[in-house]
Structure 1
């Protein structure tokens, strides 16, 4: 099995797009990417838009290589509705568009399905399904909360198991915080776990207690499951202090030989925290303009 993280916050955009290949099948999970519309009260700059263009082009190319497409929920950093026709001929699994979904995502799901049917693309509901492709098994979780409560609807985690490796893509469980997500992770016992982590950058708006629970759960997962690698990215990497927040997780990993990495490190690329560093870039640009005008 090979695991290729195509886009994520550590690579400069909001995304968890991942291509998983086994000897039997290629699976593209969450083919989409987006930018945070506002951070520190500031819009994305030219550098972020260029990075988004580049990585979306890469994801678009990888769609051609995939046999299976999975959309774990209906936030635009996880899919692009304008790409519906590209899924023709693929086996497409969607988070249930009608159940365990909030109003905003239900509206987006309806629009996506309209586009899919117009392009003669057909889909299957993912939740709870277990599939076999040769020696590869793909297992979808049931509905898992997008965060600490039900406000943002549910997502679907994806477990891919081959004779050589066992991989789990958490989608947006925001932690994990909820027991249902934690239970699925223990049940699948992945060797490599790609997790989104809590939205620590939101502080009290996400929930300080929930951030503590997420950290405790990740420490427990590392100690109990002893995965070869824990990849933390997405929500967590919108915070410049993410590594400090994760100190206990790093310590747990070091004590048992689990690598704790972000997405960029996993694919041997330099970190590019464009959203988290947006304020600094604007400040630097402002200083340069002031220097120019005063010279």
Structure 2
């Protein structure tokens, strides 16, 4: 079976100008394409996992599908890179829940979002509530370089400026090291300027993030 190259569906990421990093980025993308083609070869050799039917339930694949339960729509995205283009840790699926005029988006592990097209999709959908994972600042410089950190910051700033959510839960990867607010301070500064609430899950519940309280012990 043929699997399309996921990068073909990311025109904003493909057209980004990386300046002095452009040549290295092209090298990394080509290595990623080769890795993806090998993955496709392996997928085509492996047996298919079917959607399962049991006496009291059915297991359905959610990728790119929409389900309706009463007046609630549950929309699942196509598989997205788990981070940067051709991230070797695989793919993730975002979820969108719509009820009347209310819309919640949970991005899953997009690492930012670090890819510009994913940020644009969030802007188009204009959620009332946005749950986004943020960049893995605790992995600088081992698995997250400063160029991709900058991309993630720019994308969140653009989301904040072009949407009007009641709250943005900025959590998961982000609050794993105590300097996270310093690392992405431009995001918080933009949120304050635009009058947007950007909180970790703990802060939303009126608590201090453990990573901050632990550093003072």
- Please confirm whether the aligned pair reaches a TM-score higher than 0.5, indicating the same fold: yes
Q: Is residue 169 from structure 1 mapped to residue 106 from structure 2 by the alignment?
A: yes
For residue 131 of structure 1, give the secondary structure of its aligned residue in structure 2.
Answer: strand
Alignment of 1:97-108 (within 5 A): none
| Distance in structure 2 (CA, Å) of the matches to 1:175 and 1:121 | 35
| Distance in structure 2 (CA, Å) of the matches to 1:132 and 1:175 | 29
1:20-41 Cα distance to aligned partner (Å, 9 max, x none): xxxxxxxxxxxxxxxxxxxxxx
| Distance in structure 2 (CA, Å) of the matches to 1:165 and 1:175 | 23
1:193 pairs, out of 123, 127, 130, with 130
In structure 1, the gaps of 5 or more residues are 1-98, 285-295
For residue 211 of structure 2, give the secondary structure of its aligned residue in structure 1.
Answer: coil
Q: Which residue of 2 aligns with 1:159?
A: 96
| Distance in structure 2 (CA, Å) of the matches to 1:130 and 1:117 | 19
Q: Is residue 130 from structure 1 mapped to residue 66 from structure 2 by the alignment?
A: yes
For residue 251 of structure 1, give the secondary structure of its aligned residue in structure 2.
Answer: helix
1:239-270 Cα distance to aligned partner (Å, 9 max, x none): 21111123211222122221010011112233
1:167 CA drift (Å): 0.7
Q: Which residue of 1 aligns with 2:210?
A: 272
In structure 2, the gaps of 5 or more residues are 1-35
Runs of 4 or more above 6 Å deviation = 116-120
TM-score by length of 1: 0.52
1:149 CA drift (Å): 2.7
1:75-114 Cα distance to aligned partner (Å, 9 max, x none): xxxxxxxxxxxxxxxxxxxxxxxx99x79xx9xxx9xx89
1:239 pairs, out of 154, 173, 177, with 177
| Distance in structure 1 (CA, Å) of the matches to 2:78 and 2:124 | 13
1:186 CA drift (Å): 2.1
| Distance in structure 1 (CA, Å) of the matches to 2:162 and 2:124 | 12
For residue 227 of structure 1, give the secondary structure of its aligned residue in structure 2.
Answer: coil
Q: Is the contact between residue 134 and residue 171 of structure 2 (CA under 8 Å) also seen in structure 1?
A: yes
Q: Is the contact between residue 226 and residue 256 of structure 1 (CA under 8 Å) also seen in structure 2?
A: no
1:273 CA drift (Å): 2.1
TM-score by length of 2: 0.69
Q: Is residue 208 from structure 1 mapped to residue 146 from structure 2 by the alignment?
A: yes
For residue 124 of structure 1, give the secondary structure of its aligned residue in structure 2.
Answer: coil
- The 3 A distance-change label for structure 1 pair 134 and 241 is same
User: Bigger relative contact order, structure 1 or 2, given CA contacts below 8 A and separation 6+?
Assistant: 1
Q: Is the contact between residue 119 and residue 156 of structure 2 (CA under 8 Å) also seen in structure 1?
A: no
For residue 230 of structure 1, give the secondary structure of its aligned residue in structure 2.
Answer: strand
Q: Which residue of 2 aligns with 1:254?
A: 192
Q: Which residue of 1 aligns with 2:85?
A: 149
